Each structure stands twice: as C-alpha cells, then as structure tokens.
C-alpha cells in the first residue's frame, strides 16, 4: 500500500509541475503577445494622405511643361532658319569586295550619300559623283588602314 501511495503522489507531483510550467510559459508568452498586439494596433491605424482632388491638381513630373515645349519648338525653328548645316566629311574607313564603309555605314555601287552617287569601287579608293562633280575617297593606310582582297 505504501508503494501505491508513492506512485499516486509522484503522479500528482508530475502533473502539478506540468501545470505550473504551462502557466508560467503562458504568462511569459502572453506578455510577448501583448507587445505584438500593441505594435500591430499602432500599424493598423488609418493613415491620411492627399485627397483625390489634391492628387489630380499636381503636375506630372515626367511631362514637359508648356514653357519647355515652347522653348524646344522655338529652338528648332531658329536652328533651321539661321544655321546652315555643314556636310559631314566623307571618311572611307574600309573596302570589302564591292562594299565600302563611309563614316561607319556600309554602301554599295549605286547608293546615294547626300546627292553623291557611288559609281566606282576600287581596291584602295571609291569614286562618288554628283552631276559634273566627282569625289575620290581614298583608303587611309597606316596603323588602322586594312585592305582585304578576295580572289
């Protein structure tokens, strides 16, 4: 019988310890949950911003203003009326077969560049013609000049 009382007491003691630890951990967690609840409640408050009328009244920061557009148009008109465009000099950069590279663009016989038609392409030069005027563009040799012959 003494053994039975010991077992019951032991079970009671273990159950009591379990209940106490659960209660203690609940109170600690409960305090932590209260802190989180307080934080969430502060975030959850309704925020007030601009009204729709204020938003509609603001200007688009990415759109040009009327004064900027006017200045841009005015500048374009002045540029076309007052200045004469200088023709870009023709630089013969490369020759490959029946194609030439002038100022970074590739052309062939018959193509027109600023009223000059390409009439002939040789190994080291190209001839352009505008009416009676003829231009001979020569391939610059030196450090950068390279001639590629295809047989």
- Determine if the pTM surpasses 0.85: no
Q: Which pLDDT tens digit goes with each residue over 7-56?
A: 889 999 999 999 888 877 776 666 677 888 888 888 887 777 778 888 78
Q: Which of 32-36, 65-69, 106-110 has the lowest mean pLDDT?
A: 65-69
Q: Which regions of the chain does DSSP assign to beta strands (E)?
A: 92-96, 99-102, 105-108, 112-113, 116-121, 125-130, 133-138
Mean pLDDT value across residues 64-88: 55
Residue 1, SS3? Answer: coil
> Residue 77's Cα: distance from chain center in Å?
32
Residues 108, 109, 112, 116: what is their CA dihedral angle, to the nearest 10 degrees? 130
Confidence of residue 67 (pLDDT cuts 50, 70, 90): low
Alpha-carbon dihedral sign for residues 102, 106, 109, 111? negative
* Strand 105-108 to 112-113 pairing: unpaired
Measured CA to CA, the distance from residue 106 to residue 66 in angstroms comes to: 41
């Amino acid at each position: 019988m003494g053994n039975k009382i010991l077992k019951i007491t032991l079970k009671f003691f273990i159950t009591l310890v379990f209940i106490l630890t659960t209660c203690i951990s609940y109170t600690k967690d409960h305090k932590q949950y209260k802190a989180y609840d307080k934080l969430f409640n502060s975030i959850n408050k309704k925020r007030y911003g601009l009204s729709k009328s204020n938003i509609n009244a603001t200007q688009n920061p990415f759109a040009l203003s009327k004064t900027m557009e006017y200045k841009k148009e005015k500048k374009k008109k002045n540029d076309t009326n007052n200045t004469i465009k200088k023709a870009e000099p023709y630089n013969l950069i490369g020759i490959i077969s029946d194609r030439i590279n002038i100022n970074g663009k590739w052309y062939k016989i018959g193509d027109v560049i600023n009223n000059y038609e390409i009439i002939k392409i040789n190994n080291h030069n190209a001839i352009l013609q505008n009416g009676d005027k003829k231009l001979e563009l020569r391939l610059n040799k030196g450090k950068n000049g390279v001639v590629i012959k295809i047989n």
